[in-house]
Amino acid sequence: MGLNIVPHDGDILFSVHESIGDTVILVDATRDELIDWYAERAAKQAREEMERRLKMLDNGQRFRFSDMTLKEMLESHRPEHCQDEEWNKLIADKLSRL
């Protein structure tokens, strides 16, 4: 979605125009109101995306790491410089906190 933020009244107030649907979606917002609106919008989108992904998992679809154990996933991200003993200690620490 293309959002256009339109300042007015000497850059004190803002309106938001969504270009894809050619719709005004916010009018006369202060800076703080604009930030709050955007943060709430992002949080809503993130919740919806996670709910969609979890439903896909529930229906048997798998993602890159969803067939792995936690230990296997952590091992796949092992830094090259990390020695076996050091890495095993890091993994054990992570798993012990679960």
Per-residue pLDDT tens digits for 20-54: 888 999 999 999 999 999 999 999 999 999 998 88
Single pTM value for the model: 0.59
13-18 sheet: strands from edge to edge:
3-8, 13-18, 23-29
Instruction: State the pLDDT at residue 64.
Output: 64
pLDDT for 17 equals: 92
* Buried-exposed string 59-84: b where 16+ CB fall within 10 A, e elsewhere: eeeeeeeeeeeeeeebeeeeeeeeee
Residue 1, pLDDT above cutoff 70: no
Q: How crowded is residue 91: how many other Cβ atoms within 10 Å of its Cβ?
A: 15
Which tens digits make up the pLDDT trace of 53-97? 888 888 887 766 567 777 777 777 777 777 777 777 878 887 787
